[in-house]
Structure 1
Amino acid sequence: MRFFPLVMTGVLFAGTVLAAPMAADGISKPKNTRRVPMNQVLKRNDVPAEHSWKLEDLFPNQEAWDREYQEVKEALQKVGAFHGKLKDAASIKQCFELEDTISLHMERLYVYANMKHHEDTAEPTYQALSDKASKLSVETGEALSFISPEILSLSDDALHKLINDPELSFYKRTLEEMLREKQHVLSKSEEALLAQVGNLSQAPGTIFSMLNNADLKFPKVKNEQGEEVELTHGRYIQFLESRNREVRKEAFQAMYATYSKNKNTIGATLAANVTKNIFYSKVRKYPSTLEMSLYGDNIDKAVYTNLIDTIHEALPLMHRYMELRKKLLKVDELHMYDLFAPLVDEFKMDITYEQAQATVKESLKPLGQDYLNILQEGFDNRWIDIYENEGKRNGAYSWGAYGTHPYVLLNHKDNLNSMFTLTHEIGHAIHSYLSDESQKYRYAQYTIFLAEVASTLNEALLMDYMLKKSTDPKEKMYLLTYYMDQFRTTVFRQTMFAEFEKIIHEKAEQGESLTPQEFSKIYYDLNVLYYGKGMVVDKDIEMEWARIPHFYNSFYVYKYATGFSAATSFAKQILEEGQPAVERYLGFLKSGGSDYSINILKRAGVDMSTPEPIKQAMDVFKGLLEQMEQLAK
């Protein structure tokens, strides 16, 4: 059954899209839209339709969802007819076709139920629907679990004949993958048992999500005007971007004091997630949890360790940037709550959605008119859910189901970060759109390893556009700071997250206990390593591990760093070569999962099997740092 990927942004807070008529200049402009004040969070029922995604394109109503749910239940009854019959090409082909049909409809049910749940995670109706979809997903996985082990019970000679059988030509890649994974596939009864464990395996992430999004309540803090405002996930970064240091400090301390009060519960959920990973790695006979996580993408462990080693070599550049930040802020000590503080005096970029939309569209012109047409379709036809509301899932992501356009969830604030998150998520969405349009269902889904390339490429083109357009030294410094912080958060910080995951899993695999205190110590020490002696690593930051949802999708975050590096290379090629590079890149977007990720990137002109793209990204980081140092003189 195809995995249902939820592609989240590495940036926690996001931009917005409004459906609107076209103006004469080709830029969508709002009609009868209303702004939501910073200190007001609407209930979901009060969100205007033009600010919400149009989930009716997926299912027009609940009755349609219920009908499709029942159709899947009925289709699952047909699967049993293939038990013990998967020995010849005709039977295997029919079984694969039924599997695709069931999987496609299961995906639609699952995605819709969870997106409705994410609109308001405290709403019991959609909590129940999400749970119902998850249980059907597990039931589906259990029903289909016999397919691989039954085919792999055939002799190697018989398998090779099937791989080369013309009747199974469309499924050749599937069969080759089965053969590659044969050593990790269990017997039919064992696979069925593992499928039944599926509900239990989802528990750590589900519990954390409910606690983090629905139950965790943050105190009120004072904003720049001295007003008491409730701290939320969506507002946190805005407080950290405040020019008032006390505002930053109070929000920072309030955020982590709240998590510290819940450290035992959250520590237990994270430890349970690690235990779950070790269980699967052992029963499937992988050398380690890390290698198990990389195996599906056919990624060598060296890609992961090379990333960490290459970034360690570049840490002096990060330390140098921290010293520059301290100098520009004119502070005696640089604290963790100063990392997002603006470095340019009296320069504030308030970017409305309308401005963000227009700028994003201009910046993506190098990708050609076909790409821009898809972009406009998403803007005009409510692909995107815009603003924060009570109970809404925090952060941003792109998601969807095959056969329907992609969707984007955002929590918009009018700032530069929002504009970059808008283009980031649009990159994910158009990648999905082109892959689905170009590939059949079975091979349409690209891997998570590839996912961050398209989103970050869009960000690189937006930054290039803005830097070239800028004539104001203060604006240029502001943009350079933003780009440097993208490197800091997307390459350095995500690599630090990846190293944290590697350490905690290795400790558990060696039989060591994972307590909240141990998580905090490991996390604090990594911050000291990554930020250097020039930074005061505040004790509060030791609790940051407790608020990172990505840790429940283990060994995922390193792909932000590798994706950023690949995108940096693609952007350079597109801007320097023009159309030939664009054609290679669009070919990459259309490839879906039709080949191994490393091969797809290689064909498009980027070789991630070596550390070179990461080194190239660090060269760019160094160049940006030198520009900032010159402007700071």
Structure 2
Amino acid sequence: MNQVQKRSEVPAEHKWKLEDLFPSQDAWDKEYKEVKQKLASIAAFEGKLSDPAALKECFKLDDDISLHTERLYVYANMRHHEDMADQTYQALSDKSKKLSVEVGEAMSYITPEILSLSDEQIDQLIASPELAFYKHTLEEMKREKAHILSKAEEALLAQVGSMSQAPNTIFGMINNADMKFPKVKNENGEEIELTHGRYIQFLESKDREVRKNAFEAVYATYAKQKNTIAATLSANVSKNMFYAKARKYPSVLEMSLFGDNIPTSVYTSLIGTIEDNLPLMHRYVKLRKKLLKVDELHMYDLFAPLVEEFKMEIPYEEAKKTVLESLKPLGEDYLKVLSQGFDNSWIDVYENEGKRSGAYSWGAYGTHPYVLLNHKDNLNSMFTLTHEMGHAMHSYLSDTNQEYRYAQYTIFLAEVASTLNEALLMNYLLERTTDPKAKMYLLTYYADQFRTTVFRQTMFAEFEKIIHEKAEQGESLTPALLSQIYYDLNVKYYGKDMVVDKDIEMEWARIPHFYTSFYVYKYATGFSAATSFAKKILEEGQPAVDRYLGFLKSGGSDFSINILKRAGVDMSTPEPVSQAMSVFKELIEQMEQLAK
């Protein structure tokens, strides 16, 4: 199938059922009107928030409006993601974004008013029995006090909200809607249209020429847009600096980590611990070069299969069964909900024309989560399936065990559940594999997870840290500077056995996560925490499973570091990252043995 199918051609059983969220456009419109009406009544509490009874009612209305706004926003944007070129849903998405900004403006007085109270008055509210449910919220507000501005300034910042989304929106449009890649010849000499979804497939080709051509075609396409994309990324950094300065943070990094209450030392310690372990990465690169039997290892060889004539074809139905089997250690209750997700249209399975690239899990409180995939029948897609269902299960268990206000877990915790699922799937597959070729294939795949999720994301994290520091020191983020920084990092991370091709210097231009700044490090910390959890679940059994499920049910009811610590993983120490590195070392040793 060389042509990507249109949305209208996708069979119903492969589409998510957004009707579970809103049965019709009329239902969406009706809820939109209700939110608009309720919005008028939030102003009635202004000036009364020192009174516990009034504050309680205000919080209740705040939750009610926020929940319905979230539902409207999620639905409109998921419809938009089905086909980004469909103008009806582009407009609905814009309408929902504007509503979110309006809601933000209407509620913008609440936090500043509470924080304009004296510390003594805030402490009284925290101690009030009437506000017992909101204790964590009030404690969190008190922590934020140094960074909250006056009422007028907060209202102004809320109005800047829609402008501040511009860099991300513009990049999304360039990347998903406007950018067209050339056709590339596959192994059979057929001209195939290159897409985001197919790019990795080309890089996994056994034919080196195919890999090289796809690699060069992608970066040549981005290079043509380098000035625009550099301006977009630079605008995003400027936006971050504006907010950091306005809110009196010493740096963008501190501002970005403050929400999750993560000390910056966790970020710098991650980069430090990974840099200490770069010799392991270099050892892996050397092994890859040996296994591929090449004189030079190039950047486009990083996804090439290391096992000749071994391709795991895994149809979607089989992938679902394997995922269910592999997650048995998590217990019956977990599996029951997971099966519901598989059987009841939580998932949008295949790529179609205009569909958003990549994969995610999303949803709104009160309705089951949803998962967007662009599934191919291979091992990578099976891991993506278990990864995204890990997110979905985390959301489901948080939502069913926490009230709306405390259900949302932080992004710092978000990658733990997804990666734990991957670790259990890998363990399941490795345990059942006797064929040396298959074993080598799986070990390679797992080692590549470490390479992409821990090393590469940490390299991204270091790139973000460097570009923000340079901008904060007044340097201009030109395409040349961005490319130079990015190229040098690749040289450092991959070591002397890798030929770092010049084209890779443009890779910064295709990373959507750079528009959600200082986010990617959470993949690396999440992977490390998950590796630690998986080890404990497989070694200890039920007590570790109970602690882990307790973690999933906690949502955002406490600070992330505390939630993890209670479940037995302490991210304030380098230990989980070092533990992950020891697992990586074992994988390399097993691969070296098989390669003899």
Q: TM-score per shorter chain, which class?
A: over 0.9
Structure 1 position 40, deviation (Å): 2.4
Give the corresponding residue for 1:134.
97
State the distance in 2 between where 1:373 and 1:223 align.
Answer: 42
Structure 1 position 530, deviation (Å): 0.3
Output the amino acid matched with 1:415.
Answer: N
Unaligned stretches of 5+ in structure 2? Answer: none
Output the amino acid matched with 1:446.
Answer: Y
Unaligned stretches of 5+ in structure 1? Answer: 1-36
State the distance in 1 between where 2:420 and 2:286 align.
Answer: 29
Structure with greater proportional helix content: 2
State the distance in 2 between where 1:49 and 1:255 align.
Answer: 33
Output the amino acid matched with 1:533.
Answer: K
State the distance in 1 between where 2:108 and 2:145 align.
Answer: 14
TM-score normalised over the length of structure 1: 0.94
Q: 1:582 aligns with which of 533, 538, 545?
A: 545
Structure 1 position 86, deviation (Å): 1.2
Report 1:255-266 matches (<5 A): 255-266=218-229
Report 1:220-259 matches (<5 A): 220-259=183-222
User: CA offsets per residue over residues 93-148 of structure 1, 9 Å max, x none?
Assistant: 01000000000000000000100000011111111000000000001001101000
Report 1:425-440 matches (<5 A): 425-440=388-403
User: CA offsets per residue over residues 384-415 of structure 1, 9 Å max, x none?
Assistant: 00111111000000000000000000001011
State the distance in 2 between where 1:86 and 1:360 align.
Answer: 49
Give the corresponding residue for 1:100.
63
User: CA offsets per residue over residues 369-393 of structure 1, 9 Å max, x none?
Assistant: 1000011000000000011111100
Q: Secondary structure at the match of 1:59?
A: coil
Give the corresponding residue for 1:394.
357
User: CA offsets per residue over residues 128-182 of structure 1, 9 Å max, x none?
Assistant: 0000000000010011010000011111111100100000000011110110000
State the distance in 1 between where 2:535 and 2:403 align.
Answer: 31
Give the corresponding residue for 2:85.
122
Give the corresponding residue for 1:269.
232
Question: How much identity, in percent, do the aligned residues show?
Answer: 79
User: CA offsets per residue over residues 246-273 of structure 1, 9 Å max, x none?
Assistant: 0000000000000000111111110000
State the distance in 2 between where 1:85 and 1:366 align.
Answer: 51
Give the corresponding residue for 1:525.
488
State the distance in 2 between where 1:360 and 1:155 align.
Answer: 53
Structure 1 position 207, deviation (Å): 0.4
State the distance in 2 between where 1:245 and 1:279 align.
Answer: 46
Structure 1 position 345, deviation (Å): 1.3
Q: Secondary structure at the match of 1:137?
A: helix
Report 1:78-93 matches (<5 A): 78-93=41-56
Is 1:294 matched up with 2:233?
no
Q: 1:456 aligns with which of 416, 419, 423?
A: 419
Is 1:326 matched up with 2:296?
no
Please report the RMSD computed on the Cα atoms of aligned residues, expressed in angstroms: 0.5
TM-score normalised over the length of structure 2: 1.00
Structure 1 position 320, deviation (Å): 0.7
Give the corresponding residue for 1:621.
584
Q: Secondary structure at the match of 2:102?
A: helix
Report 1:375-394 matches (<5 A): 375-394=338-357
Q: 2:308 aligns with which of 332, 335, 345?
A: 345
Is 1:61 matched up with 2:24?
yes
Q: 2:459 aligns with which of 488, 496, 501?
A: 496
State the distance in 1 between where 2:211 and 2:141 align.
Answer: 52
Q: Secondary structure at the match of 1:226?
A: coil
Structure 1 position 517, deviation (Å): 1.1
Give the corresponding residue for 1:143.
106
Give the corresponding residue for 1:31.
none
> 4+ residue runs of structure 1 moved beyond 6 angstroms?
none
State the distance in 1 between where 2:290 and 2:592 align.
Answer: 10
User: CA offsets per residue over residues 59-112 of structure 1, 9 Å max, x none?
Assistant: 001110011111111111001111111121011001000000000000000000
Q: 1:610 aligns with which of 573, 588, 595?
A: 573
State the distance in 1 between where 2:419 and 2:3 align.
Answer: 31
State the distance in 1 between where 2:309 and 2:514 align.
Answer: 38
Q: 1:552 aligns with which of 496, 507, 515?
A: 515
State the distance in 1 between where 2:540 and 2:150 align.
Answer: 52
Q: Secondary structure at the match of 1:221?
A: strand
Give the corresponding residue for 1:303.
266
State the distance in 2 between where 1:48 and 1:77 align.
Answer: 43
Structure 1 position 600, deviation (Å): 0.3
Give the corresponding residue for 2:450.
487
Report 1:464-483 matches (<5 A): 464-483=427-446
Output the amino acid matched with 1:333.
Answer: E
User: CA offsets per residue over residues 518-547 of structure 1, 9 Å max, x none?
Assistant: 111110000000001110000000011101
Give the corresponding residue for 2:534.
571
Give the corresponding residue for 1:632.
595
State the distance in 2 between where 1:617 and 1:559 align.
Answer: 14
Output the amino acid matched with 2:200.
Answer: I
Q: Which has the higher contact order (CA 8 A, sep 6+)?
A: 1
Give the corresponding residue for 1:9.
none
Q: Secondary structure at the match of 1:181?
A: helix
